[in-house]
Amino acid sequence: MKKTGGELIVEALKANGVKRLSCVPGESFLAVLDALYDTDLEVIVCRQEGGAAMMADCWGRLTGEPGICMVTRGPGATNATAGLHIARQDSIPMILFIGQVQRDAREREAFQEVEFRRALTEYAKWVGEIDDAARIPEFVTRAFAIATSGRPGPVVLSLPEDMLRDEVEAPRAKPYARVPAHPGRRQVDDFYMRLLKAERPMVILGGTRWDADAVADFRVFAERFKLPVGCSFRRQMLFDHLNPGYAGDVGIGINPVLAKEIKESDLLILLGARMSEMPSSGYTLVDVPYPAQSLVHIYPDPSELGRIYRPDLAICASPQDFVAALTDLEAPAEPRWAERTEHMHQDYLAWSKPPQTGPGAVHMGPIMEWIEGNTKADTIFTNGAGNYATWLHRFHRFRQFNTQAAPTSGSMGYGLPAAVAAKRLFPEREVICFAGDGCFLMHGQEFATAVRYDLPIIALVINNGIYGTIRMHQERDYPGRVSGTDLTNPDFAALARAYGGHGETVEKTEDFASAFERARASGKPSIIEVKLDPEAITPTRTLTEIAQTKSR
């Protein structure tokens, strides 16, 4: 039986377990939209392709299966590269389908034409174009396999408009086959002997290809061995922060005590983590290329092992498969590092206690304490990039897997579309987006998507009227010479109401709790604008203090 290319795309998606996709429609893939009409596959219509791609990234981030996004050619595709870049640097499985010019118009700079196989190579693990509709099952199956294998990442498939209308006979699509990455028995034994000989071991968790079972099983392993465990930048949901083995976040603004312990450890275990620039504090925690610590690096892609750091033991395995191999290892009766682990956890608890005062009438410390005491352990927190995120990353204590969606690439604008995606995926769970005023307006139009699909997210817009992180660096390096970092903002609460949501404005610390409760009770997508003094640039330092540092 002949089917159109559009029908074959949809059939291949369903065969691979896809339940939803995000898109901004375009005439270049109308044949796919027509095929979607006759299926139960959920289509989330977004307002800008960057937001649509970030939603797909979030689905890939929270499920481990490729998030699916469809956009049109030219400006649609170039808008979507913001989400592609996040997925690439964050190792998130994702497939971006791009409608393309018809085949007989290629290489003529036709209307909105881009040669994606040349243009997007740096953004994706693989960029393909399907010339023959009969090969759609082959290409889509390959896309799923590449996106999920080794180090996961985004894949791009370009779909010429006329190819999608072709009627052809093709094999029925089948689901892709997962590629396991098991450790060898000798490698596990080698790891075990190194651990037993260590005096000051340290574990850093990170990366993707985790699931709830692997997180739970590693917690049991760490508890048996009384190991100190840190989480890499924006991967904090991989270990319970109130577990007695938790040592803290290995990211931007790391606790100096934790940084010292990592540098002085005699066995550093990187499990699933790449330990790139941000978690390594600019490649200072671990020497490149020869670490001072004995290094065991477990990662699912052999091309990453030894690329930056030369490990003493390299194990090509996914976190799930490696953790599964640890269950029968016998722990020492009294690990010699147990007291050190306890001290490291106490240092973390002290470090994560927020300050109660600061410049201005709104203090984020008490607000964070209120959030900690009035949200459930399964609440999902999302954010983009900016100094405001420090309040969440340092002072929120993550307790469960799949409660964090934040870009390790430091991309602004991610929090709001990620919150929409997370709420669609987990409607029974509360979803809270943290955003700065600059960050929110990068993709704030997706608040309309939340309203359309009746997704009661709560967005906290921390408004200090500046691009905060850039201003902080500006004041540090060029004190008193403000240029290009001031902002003029809308009334964010009124903006929420204009979209059809709920809006609140907080100008004093004591007003936050009631504003949040009203937003929660509204049952609508909500924006709570928190007006923060720009001097409150970090939890511990003001802009003026930072500028004075340079002048000294």
The answer to whether residue 178 is domain-embedded is no
Containing structural domain, residue 339: 185-350
Please check whether residues 249 and 142 belong to one and the same domain. Answer: no
Could you give the CA distance from residue 219 to residue 332 in angstroms, rounded to a whole number?
16
- String of DSSP letters for 74-132: THHHHHHHHHHHHHHHHT--EEEEEEE--GGGTTS--TT---HHHHTGGG-SEEEE---
Residues 249, 316, single domain; the answer is yes
In the three-class reduction of DSSP (H, G, I as helix; E, B as strand; rest coil), residue 203 is classed as strand
**CATH number of domain containing 26:** 3.40.50.970
Report if residue 337 sits inside a domain: yes
The C-alpha atoms of residue 327 and residue 536 are separated, in whole angstroms, by 47
- pLDDT of 423 reads 98
Are 410 and 522 part of one and the same domain? yes
Q: Are both 323 and 375 inside the same structural domain?
A: no
- Same domain? For 242 and 145 the reply is no
CA distance 524 to 453: 10
pLDDT at residue number 354: 96
Three-state DSSP string of 489-540? CCCHHHHHHHHCCEEEEECCHHHHHHHHHHHHHHCCCEEEEEECCCCCCCCC
Paired residues of 197 in beta bridges: none
Within this chain, do residues 432 and 296 fall inside the same structural domain, yes or no? no
Residue 190 has a pLDDT of 98
Token pair, residue 267, equals 């066995």
Q: How many domains does the chain have?
A: 3
Rounded to whole angstroms, the Cα distance separating 285 from 42 reads 45
Is residue 161 in a domain? yes
Asked whether residue 173 is domain-assigned, the answer is: no
- Identify whether the C-beta of residue 428 lies closer than 8 Å to the C-beta of residue 490: no
- The DSSP bridge partners found for residue 268 are 202, 295
- b/e code 290-315 from CB counts within 10 Å (16+ = b): ebebbbbbbbbbeebbeebbebbbbb
Residue 135: count of CB within 10 angstroms of its CB? 18
Tokens 């996961």 sit on residue: 152
pLDDT at position 551: 52
| Whether residue 51 is found in the same domain as residue 149 | yes
> For residue 115, which amino acid is it?
E
In this structure, the answer to whether residues 507 and 368 fall within a common structural domain is yes
Residues 434 and 532 in one domain: yes
The H-assigned helical ranges of 236-318 are: 256-264
Are residues 120 and 210 both part of a single domain? Answer: no
Q: Are residues 539 and 433 in the same domain?
A: yes
Q: Strand 3-4 vs strand 167-168: parallel, antiparallel, or unpaired?
A: antiparallel
- Domain end point (choices 350, 369, 385): 350
Residue 53 belongs to a domain? yes
The answer to whether the CB of 480 falls within 8 A of the CB of 503 is no
Domain end: 168, 199, 229, which one? 168
Q: Could you tell me if residue 179 is inside a domain?
A: no
Q: Cα-atom radius of gyration of the chain, to the nearest Å?
A: 24
Q: What is the pLDDT of residue 552?
A: 52
Cis ω before 289 (30° cut-off from 0): yes
Give the end of a domain, one of 305, 324, 350: 350
Encode the chain (552 residues) as per-residue pLDDT tens digits: 899 999 999 999 999 999 999 999 999 999 999 999 999 999 999 999 999 999 999 999 999 999 999 999 999 999 999 999 999 999 999 999 999 999 998 888 888 888 999 999 999 999 999 999 999 999 999 999 999 999 999 999 999 999 999 999 999 999 999 888 899 999 999 999 999 999 999 999 999 999 999 999 999 999 999 999 999 999 999 999 999 999 999 999 999 999 999 999 999 999 999 999 999 999 999 999 999 999 999 999 999 999 999 999 999 999 999 999 999 999 999 999 999 999 999 999 999 999 999 999 999 999 999 999 999 999 999 999 999 999 999 999 999 999 999 999 999 999 999 999 999 999 999 999 999 999 999 999 999 999 999 999 999 999 999 999 999 999 999 998 999 999 999 999 999 999 999 999 999 999 999 999 999 999 999 999 999 999 999 999 999 999 887 655
Domain of 236: which CATH number? 3.40.50.1220
Residues 345, 358: one domain? Answer: no
